[in-house]
Amino acid sequence: MISIIVPTFNEEKTIEIFLEEIKKLKLKNFELIIVDDSFDKTAEIAKKLMKKFKIRGKVLKRFGKRGKGSAIRDGLKISKGEKIVLVDADLQYPIEKIPFLIEKLEECDIVNTRRLRKDSFVRKILGLSFRLLVFLFFGLTIETQSTFRAFKKEVKEKINFKANSWAWDVEFLYKAKKLDFKICSYPVVYKERKFGKSKISFFTPLKMFLEILRIRLSFL
């Protein structure tokens, strides 16, 4: 079985299109797990459409914004798949590439995507600065902040990440590296958001820096 885990926060404008794209994949023997912290009707819409489209799975409704890492961890706890895919519902990632990521798991333990994107000068500088810090703190040279990722059940069972925030990826990939899991990198086109608002604020880079610093200190 394949488990597709989707953390959502206020995606009522994109969730229908996202589910239509999932249905188009015509995957066999899969479950869709949506972990929702929204204040809007994302969970309600998702439940109705999953039933309409006959998509097997569950919508786990949580209350209060607990963080992306926390949402993914809760999704992993109830997942049953031998292969696991993580993806956002904001339509910025190419959903049609999910079967390819699953296929690549025959060669790797983790398939980590690298986003090909057009950014402003300021965002490029922030991104480069963050990647430099991740390299200096953890020795990771792969992109850590792409949520579009696939990995085997064995990885889920052996990696216990504790970070609740956006920086959970760093802890996850660092622990995977220490456990000698084979990580493959695959480039994907990352689209501009057309619906809803970005979850990244002016203070996000500072929060992420403090979080990866906390993660690094926890390994000392």
Contact 139, 177 (CB under 8 A): yes
Q: With pLDDT > 70 as the criterion, what percentage of the chain qualifies?
A: 94
pLDDT at 7 over 70: yes
Lowest average pLDDT, out of 46-60, 174-188, 199-213, goes to 199-213
Q: Which comes out higher in pLDDT, residue 197 or 165?
A: 165
Going by C-alpha positions, the residue among 90, 116, 87, 107 that lies closest to residue 27 is 87
pLDDT range class, residue 198, cuts 50, 70, 90: low
Would you state the pLDDT for residue 89?
96
Q: Which two tokens stand for residue 195?
A: 């619906």
Going by C-alpha positions, the residue among 156, 183, 174, 176 that lies closest to residue 73 is 156
Conformational region of residue 29, where left means phi above 0, alpha means psi within -120 to 50, and beta covers everything else: left
Using alpha carbons, list the distances in angstroms from residue 109 to 46, 151, 154, 181, 217.
30, 6, 8, 6, 27
Conformational region of residue 139, where left means phi above 0, alpha means psi within -120 to 50, and beta covers everything else: left
Q: Which two tokens stand for residue 35?
A: 């972990």
Q: State how far the Cα of 126 lies from the Cα of 123, in Å rounded to an integer.
A: 5
pLDDT at 91 over 80: yes
